[in-house]
Structure 1
Amino acid sequence: MKRFHVGKWATVVLAGMLMLAGCGGGGSAGGGNTSSGQGSGSTPAPAAAEKVIGMSFPAADHGWLGAVIKNAEDEAKAEGLKYVITTAADPNKQTNDIEDLISKKVSAIVMLPIESAAMTPVAKKVKDAGIPLIVVDRELESDDFTALVKGDNKGIGSHAGAYLVDKLGGKGKIVEIIGVPSSVTTMRSDGFREAIKDHPDMQVIVSQSGDFQKEKSLNVMQNILQSQPQIDAVYTHDDEMALGVLQAIKEAKRTDIRVVTGAGGHKDVYKLIKDGDPLMQATFTYSPLMVKDAVKLAADIVNGKTPAEKVTMLEATPITKDNIDKFYDPNANY
């Protein structure tokens, strides 16, 4: 894809723009941040001839989301377009952010919805305003978007189910730690259950939300360990949740649990797999680099190109000790 030099649009990052923290989901209460390639203070509406991409993300209180925001900004700079980034910690704030971008008449909007249902109505407003909308990661409950870039969430669940069937010999008690209310969570659960449905001795005994947060998942798993005397495996929807689960299991000194799986491609989980951790044996790719594809699409659209496909889905590759060396990068953003 053709790249543009940034020279014409020098970006100035607002002080305190993005606080990339290590854990969290995007469903907690609180405020958000706004960053612009135009300078400090409030962002004025762009002039008619300017090509400005608005980008709206959940607050970066989760490592994966932090990497998404960093990758999005890097790609926007590489494409040579001015940009505005907003972050929000709840759907109301994100809706307000999108409405503000509409009022500023940005050339395109890239959005990662905090929650699928809650962010669907504002997508209609974007469409009615004639602004191209590129959705990344979590889907909407309508087709009011120009393009969608996502990972194979159902594939993650299917791969995890097949993996645990094989590891447990088709029989076992499984705990599922799920994410926030979104298409991601729904599809990862559906894929998993479809994969184990022909194995009646594979039982999901608990399914509880960890909100894509390490600390929340640690606390949730501590309670589950107290209430469940026998657990054979834990299927988590996210690598950072898996790290919290692992900490809880190891602190409780439980020896009945044979395997934990994750999703997302966190380098700390990759390191555990590479080092032969007895519990953390598999995860599935769901790279925060996917946002770069979304920003590239936005750049193409504002430069007059039509996306070849409305939906782009990236493969969910199983990562185990057999192929970890192809994926592990200790210097990765995530």
Structure 2
Amino acid sequence: MARPVPIALAATACAVLVLSAGCGTTHENAGQAPNAGTNTKCKGPNGHYVIGMSQANVAEPYRQRMNDDIRNAAASVPQFEVKFADAAQDNAKQVSDVENYLTQQIDLLIISPNESTPLTGVVKKAYDKGIPVVVLDRKVDGDAYTTFIGADNTDIGRQAGTFIAQKLLPNGGKVVELKGLPGSTPAQERDAGFQQAIAGKNIQVVATGVGDWLRDKGQQQMDAILKAQPQIDVVYSENDPMAEGAYLAAKSVGRENSIRFTGIDGLPIPSGGIKAVEDGRLTATFVYPTGGKEAVEAAKKLLIDCQQVPKKQTLPTQLVTKDNAEAVYRAANGG
């Protein structure tokens, strides 16, 4: 245990470090609860820290990979103990999961919200208690959190739309869009970016379906769309599992060769989007990093190093096509 710091010395330290995560509040926290945004949990390298990870669901391969990345990164930090909770796409359960973590007096919360608005209140509650909050992949409303880590989903949607407009349908054509969970920010932003990119390009979105990020729901949506739409040139899916589901639906009626399928996630696993591109089921995908490693790095800075972290950390993306799929997969797995 560290020896107590004399009061006068502690006051001087806080005066010097008034903008740090360990002392006081900044102007961003004006009007909030007394401990809002104040990291009271840092005990340095001699501490033991319990981290609660609240996951939206583990039915999506992307989310299971995110948990695995967090688990693997935390394994190299002996001071960390990480607990995981699966909300199973249930907002009320995720709120309850976080409330349970607060009862357990966790030292830091990592959360990937199922939907933004329903989870905003409980995230703010944790933040106001002085618990550092790392929001991962999906956003909450407002700014009552310590850091957000994720890719720029509007830009990814824009890049996907640009690829379809320039490379797949330079003369225009008909597109089906498969959307993720409507209340989640990636679904909203990937749609917005896509619509921006195809505007004025003679591309018609002839049908949309909501697959909630899941392959079986994507397949069900595409089954119905195929019956209603005799001509479909491209499927723009907001993630790879829904794109794979759409491919399976098209294959079941013999139309898989007349439609091109694009996705997002690009997981470097045998069942992921990169291999689907390499094998020819998808024409393209975009790498969407899980942020698991970066979340643990942020936790280490906050809890062990007593340092600040940026309010927003934007992760890079990459277009994956048949031309580079093998190399991207190999590089992602250390090859």
2:138 maps to 138
Check the 8 A contact 2:289/2:316 in 1, yes or no. no
1:118 maps to 118
Offset of residue 170 of structure 1: 4.0
Offset of residue 331 of structure 1: 9.7
For residue 283 of structure 2, give the secondary structure of its aligned residue in structure 1.
Answer: strand
Q: If the length of structure 2 is used for normalisation, what is the TM-score?
A: 0.79
Provide the alpha-carbon RMSD of the alignment.
1.8
2:254 maps to 253
For residue 118 of structure 2, give the secondary structure of its aligned residue in structure 1.
Answer: coil
Q: Deviations over 1:147-174 (max 9, x none)?
A: 1110121122111111111211141111
Question: Per the alignment, do residues 282 and 143 of structure 1 end up closer, same or farther by CA in structure 2, a change over 3 Å counting?
Answer: same
Alignment partner of 1:273 is 2:271: no
Give matches, 1:63-212, under 5 Å: 63-80=61-78, 81-89=80-88, 90-166=90-166, 167-180=168-181, 181-199=183-201, 201-212=202-213
1:224 maps to 225
Alignment partner of 1:310 is 2:311: yes
1:82 corresponds to which letter in structure 2? E
1:140 corresponds to which letter in structure 2? V
Offset of residue 325 of structure 1: 2.4
Larger Rg: 2
More moved, 167-176 vs 231-240: 167-176
Give matches, 1:17-32, under 5 Å: none
More moved, 188-197 vs 150-159: 150-159
For residue 65 of structure 2, give the secondary structure of its aligned residue in structure 1.
Answer: helix
Q: Deviations over 1:238-265 (max 9, x none)?
A: 1111111111111111268432100001
More moved, 212-221 vs 57-66: 57-66
Question: Per the alignment, do residues 305 and 170 of structure 1 end up closer, same or farther by CA in structure 2, a change over 3 Å counting?
Answer: farther
For residue 174 of structure 1, give the secondary structure of its aligned residue in structure 2.
Answer: strand
Q: If the length of structure 1 is used for normalisation, what is the TM-score?
A: 0.79
The one of 283, 286, 293 equivalent to 2:285 is: 283
1:160 corresponds to which letter in structure 2? A
Offset of residue 50 of structure 1: 3.7
For residue 75 of structure 2, give the secondary structure of its aligned residue in structure 1.
Answer: helix
1:58 maps to 56
Distance in structure 2 (CA, Å) of the matches to 1:252 and 1:260: 16
2:67 corresponds to which letter in structure 1? I
2:35 maps to none
For residue 79 of structure 1, give the secondary structure of its aligned residue in structure 2.
Answer: coil
For residue 101 of structure 1, give the secondary structure of its aligned residue in structure 2.
Answer: helix
For residue 119 of structure 1, give the secondary structure of its aligned residue in structure 2.
Answer: helix
Distance in structure 1 (CA, Å) of the matches to 2:295 and 2:149: 6
Check the 8 A contact 2:211/2:217 in 1, yes or no. yes
Check the 8 A contact 1:155/1:316 in 2, yes or no. no
Distance in structure 2 (CA, Å) of the matches to 1:175 and 1:112: 28
More moved, 323-332 vs 184-193: 323-332
Question: Per the alignment, do residues 217 and 330 of structure 1 end up closer, same or farther by CA in structure 2, a change over 3 Å counting?
Answer: farther
Higher helix share: 2
Offset of residue 100 of structure 1: 1.5
Check the 8 A contact 2:301/2:309 in 1, yes or no. no
1:197 corresponds to which letter in structure 2? A
Distance in structure 1 (CA, Å) of the matches to 2:198 and 2:179: 17
Greater than 4 Å deviation, 4+ residue runs: 329-332
Check the 8 A contact 1:217/1:241 in 2, yes or no. yes
2:102 corresponds to which letter in structure 1? I
Offset of residue 54 of structure 1: 1.4
Distance in structure 1 (CA, Å) of the matches to 2:297 and 2:256: 47
Distance in structure 2 (CA, Å) of the matches to 1:127 and 1:284: 32
Offset of residue 330 of structure 1: 11
Question: Per the alignment, do residues 62 and 256 of structure 1 end up closer, same or farther by CA in structure 2, a change over 3 Å counting?
Answer: closer
Check the 8 A contact 2:175/2:204 in 1, yes or no. yes
Distance in structure 2 (CA, Å) of the matches to 1:171 and 1:310: 40
Distance in structure 1 (CA, Å) of the matches to 2:304 and 2:275: 41
Offset of residue 52 of structure 1: 1.4
Check the 8 A contact 1:231/1:256 in 2, yes or no. no
Alignment partner of 1:292 is 2:293: yes
Question: Per the alignment, do residues 210 and 329 of structure 1 end up closer, same or farther by CA in structure 2, a change over 3 Å counting?
Answer: farther
Distance in structure 2 (CA, Å) of the matches to 1:255 and 1:240: 16
Check the 8 A contact 1:230/1:256 in 2, yes or no. no
Distance in structure 2 (CA, Å) of the matches to 1:234 and 1:254: 12
For residue 117 of structure 2, give the secondary structure of its aligned residue in structure 1.
Answer: coil
